[in-house]
Structure 1
Amino acid sequence: MSGSQEVPAVHLLGPGMAALVQAIPIAAQATGRPVVMVGGLAVLCRLSRPYRATTDLDTVSRLEEGQTGQLELLVAAGATLSGPSGVQLPTALGPVQIDVLQVADADFDPLPDDPTDRLHVLSHAWAADTATRMTLMADAPPPVDVLVAQPAALVAMKLQSAMNRGAAKEGTDFLDIVRLSTDPVTNRAVVDGLQSAGQQLKDDALLHVGRWFEKGRDRTLKRIRTIPEGGATTMDDLELVAELLTAALGR
C-alpha cells in the first residue's frame, strides 16, 4: 500500500478489479451519494497484502427518514436488479455486481432483540459512520477516491455475516477476520477500533467471537480450510484471534 498518510492508496490488479473501480464513480453519480465500500474489496484494500480476489462491490447505505434507497436509485439510472439486494451496473469494462447493505433509521427504533440481527444493524451503521477515504488505482480507469470501512468495522460485520452462509462464504468471512486481526497494518486498528465501539455493539460482537473462535473453533477452522487461501491457517491462529478480540471487546 502506498500514498500519503491522510489518503492511503492501493493498486488493484487485473481487468475484474478495474471494472469494480470504474463502477464506483458511476454508482455515486447515479445515486447522488458517496459510495461506502464494505465486504471483500474493502478487506483487500485495508490489508498490507491482499490474499484473495473478489468479483463484486459491496456497499453500505445509511438511509435517513424520507430518503430513497440506493438500490432504487441505481435501478432508476439503468442498473438491473440482481439478487435480493443487488444490481448489475453497466460499465465500459463490463457489468459489475453491486450489493447494497442498507441500514435505515427505523432499524434503530427499536433495535432488534436478536443479537445477530442487532449486530447487523449496529456494525453496518458503524461502518458507514466511520469509513475513511482511500484512493483506488487500477490498470484501466483513472484513480478513484472512495470511502472504505475501517478494519474494526469490517471485523464486526464479518462476525455477523458468517451466520447462515454457505461453507465457502462462511470460510471467507472467518479468514477475513483472521487476516484483519493479525495483519501488521490492520491489527492495531482492529483492536483500537473495537475498544472504542459502543457498548451494545461490543457485547454482541463478543458473543459472536465466543461462538466462532472459542466454542465453535474446530468448526471454524474446518470452514476456513474449505477455501484454498485458508489451507495454512492453524488452530493457533484462531486462538490468537480469540485472545485479541476478547481483550479488545472488554472481557
Structure 2
Amino acid sequence: MSGDVALVDSGDEAVSRLVRTASTLFATPDFKPTALVGGLAVTIRLATVHRATNDVDTVSEGDGPRNLALQYLSDAGAAASNRIEINGVNVDILATWPLPPSMDELPDGDLDRLFVLGHRWALDSATPVAVDVLSADGFTVAESGLLIVATTPALLACKLHAIADRRGPATPKRESDALDVVRLIGDLIRSDQQIDSLVAAPFDLAELVTTQVERWFIDEALRTARLAGAATAGTERFDPGDLSTLGRLLINRLASP
C-alpha cells in the first residue's frame, strides 16, 4: 500500500470503480485545473466509506476540462446526449471562474454567494492525495495515482450550499448532504490548521458558513438529525442536542480561531 488514504471497498466494488474513474480523469494531461468535490471527495478526506456514492463530481477552471472529457473520455452513448460517463460512472464537471477583486461584483444573495465562493475556493485550495482501495480481506484492488481533492473546509462550504439549495426531485439528496456535513464538521473542529484556513477564506465565506451551521445545527438540529439518520438507512441515530453542540463548537472556533 503506497497511498495517502486507504479505503475499504464495498461489496459491489463501487468505491474502486469511482477511484479508477477519477484516476482516468486526473491522469489526462489537459484535464486541469480541476479538483474533486462531492461524495467521493468527502470519503477521501474522512478516510472512510461512510455512505454510498455513485458519481464523480469535480470543479474546474472554465469549460475546458469538461469539453475535453466529453470529447475524448466519455462513453460514446453518454457523449451523444451531452453527458459524461466513463466506464458507466457518471461524471459531473462544474466550471468555476476566478473571483473578482471586489465583493461588489459577487452575487447579492447569500446562497448564491456561498455557491460561487465555496466552489471556487474548493478548486483554489485543493491538494493532491493518493488513494488505495482495499478489499475486505486487505488486498489492494485499486490505486489512484495523485488526485486533486478539495479540502475539508471547502467541502463543508459546498455541502452547506447543497443542503440549503436543493429543490424538487433533488430534495431527497438532503439526507446524504446532512450526513456529510455532520461528518465534515466533526473532522474540521479537530484541526487548528483547517479552522484557520476557513477563517482566511475569500471574502465573507466563513460568515456564510457560520450562518448555515446556525440554521442546520442549532435552529433545525432535529431536522438535520433525522436527515442524517435516514442516510444511514436507520443503522445510526443522531441526537439533536449533540448536533447543536457540534455546531456551536465550530461557530465558536470560527469566531475565535
Report the CA distance between 1:186 and its aligned residue. 7.0
Q: Secondary structure, in 3 states, of the residue corresponding to 1:226?
A: helix
Tell me if 1:43 matches 2:42: yes
> Could you tell me how far apart the structure 2 residues matched to 1:175 and 1:16 are?
19
Amino acid at match of 2:49: P
Q: Deviations over 1:92-147 (max 9, x none)?
A: xxx21111122124888821111111111111111111111111123444442111
Q: Is 1:89–2:94 an aligned residue pair? A: no
Contact 1:59 1:99 in 2 (8 A): yes
Is 1:246 matched with 2:251?
A: yes
Amino acid at match of 1:50: V
From 239, 249, 255, the equivalent of 1:234 is: 239
1:159 aligns with 2:160: yes
The residue aligned with 2:136 is none
Does the Cα contact within 8 Å between 2:32 and 2:60 map onto a contact in 1?
no
Output the CA distance in 2 between the equivalents of 1:154 and 1:77: 28
Match of 1:128 in 2: 123
Deviation at 1:175, TM superposition (A): 1.5
1:8 corresponds to which residue?
4
Structure 1 pair 141/121, CA: closer, same or farther in 2 (3 Å)? same
Match of 1:59 in 2: 58
Tell me which amino acid in the other structure corresponds to 1:101: L
With over 3 angstroms needed to count, the CA separation of the structure-2 counterparts of 1:195 and 1:82, relative to structure 1, is: farther
TM score, norm. by length of structure 1: 0.81
- Shift in Å, 1:216: 2.1
How many angstroms apart in 1 are the aligned matches of 2:51 and 2:243?
Answer: 19
2:65 to 67, 70, 94: 70
Aligned to 1:98: 91
Please, which moves more after superposition, 43-52 or 114-123?
A: 43-52
CA shift in 2, pair 1:228/1:111, >3 Å: same
For 2:206, the aligned partner's letter is K
Q: What residue ranges of structure 2 are gaps of 5+ in the alignment?
A: 134-139
Q: CA RMSD in A?
A: 2.9
Q: CA deviation at 1:69?
A: 3.1
When residues 32 and 167 of structure 1 are mapped into structure 2, their CA distance, relative to the original with a 3 A threshold, is: closer
- Does 2:215 align with 1:211? yes
Flag the 1:198–1:78 CA change in 2: closer, same or farther, 3 A: closer
Q: 1:168 and 2:161 equivalent?
A: no
Change (3 A) 1:46 1:130: same
Q: 1:147 to 1:221 in 2, by over 3 A?
A: same
Question: Do the aligned residues in 2 keep the contact of 1:191 with 1:244 (CA within 8 Å)?
Answer: no
Structure 1: where are the runs of 5+ without partners?
A: none
- Checking the alignment, whether the CA contact within 8 Å between 1:36 and 1:60 is kept in structure 2 is yes
Contact 1:82 / 1:88 at 8 angstroms: preserved in 2? no
Counterparts of 1:107 and 1:229 in 2: how far apart (Å)?
43
The Cα of 1:199 is off from its aligned counterpart by 4.2
1:111 aligns with 2:99: no
Contact 1:89 1:97 (8 Å CA) reproduced:
yes
Q: 2:231 & 2:66 partners in 1: Cα distance? A: 31
Give % identity. Answer: 30
Counterpart Cα distance in 2 of 1:190 and 1:239: 20
Distance 1:142 1:159, change over 3 A: closer
